[in-house]
């Protein structure tokens, strides 16, 4: 029996399904490894029984028996994490930024993102850590912008072009000098 895919004459029988008029066989090609079906029946020629093959490529394949789908198990979703003022991660940021961080986490994110927001304690701690690495004035600006915009995450890149307020202390005109001062303040803190 030649493979209908590659034409190789060698195949192995994987399964035989006997029927009243013919046998349906599932074969695997030894060359390309693809599966094909044949219909085989016995023909009588001159009083002797000889085998006769028909290629199943010209016939419609037998439909596979349908199995009932397994019942879907619903995974219980964890409840959203609600941050409170007594959480350890809240103390990492300055006192001015603490209520803003809590408001961002508990209300602003939920109002904009709903169930798509990541509501785990680990996500809150990583956000608080990112905010705590910034200078105090940038912490307030980042949390305020996060509330106003409904950001899913608070990243310093979002406010890279923010200017410090006049009462933030000495501010150099060069952005490179400001970055050096910010990195020094972050390393010391």
188 or 186: which leads in pLDDT: 186
Instruction: Dump pLDDT digits (tens) for 44-76.
Output: 555 555 555 554 444 455 666 677 777 777 766
Query: What confidence score (pLDDT) does residue 71 get?
Result: 75
**Res 183 pLDDT > 80:** yes
Instruction: Dump pLDDT digits (tens) for 132-180.
Output: 888 888 888 888 888 777 777 788 888 877 777 666 566 666 778 878 8
Are 130 and 92 in contact, with CB atoms under 8 Å apart? Answer: no
pTM: 0.47
Instruction: Dump pLDDT digits (tens) for 80-97.
Output: 778 888 888 888 888 988
**Res 189 pLDDT > 60:** no
Query: What confidence score (pLDDT) does residue 134 get?
Result: 86
Burial of 131 (0-12, 13-18, 19+ CB in 10 A): buried
Query: What confidence score (pLDDT) does residue 58 get?
Result: 45
Around 90, how many Cα atoms within 13 Å sit in the side-chain half-sphere? 17
8 or 175: which leads in pLDDT: 8
Query: What confidence score (pLDDT) does residue 83 get?
Result: 84
Query: Directed axis angle between helix 121-132 and helix 136-149, to 10°?
Result: 130
């Amino acid at each position: 029996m030649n493979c209908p895919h590659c034409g190789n004459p060698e195949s192995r029988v994987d399964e035989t399904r006997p029927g009243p008029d013919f046998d349906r066989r599932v074969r695997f090609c030894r060359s390309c490894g693809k599966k094909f079906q044949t219909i085989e029946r016995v023909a009588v020629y001159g009083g002797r029984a000889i085998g006769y093959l028909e290629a199943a490529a010209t016939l419609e394949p037998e439909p596979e028996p349908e199995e009932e789908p397994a019942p879907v198990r619903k995974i219980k979703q964890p409840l959203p994490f609600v941050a409170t003022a007594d959480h350890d991660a809240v103390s990492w940021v300055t006192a001015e930024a603490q209520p803003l961080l809590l408001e961002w986490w508990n209300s602003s994110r939920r109002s904009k993102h709903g169930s798509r927001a990541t509501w785990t304690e680990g996500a809150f701690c990583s956000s608080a850590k990112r905010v705590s690495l910034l200078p105090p004035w940038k912490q307030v600006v980042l949390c305020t912008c996060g509330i106003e915009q409904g950001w899913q995450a608070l990243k310093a890149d979002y406010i890279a072009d923010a200017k410090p307020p006049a009462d933030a202390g000495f501010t150099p005109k060069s952005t490179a000098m400001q970055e050096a001062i910010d990195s020094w303040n972050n390393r010391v803190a």
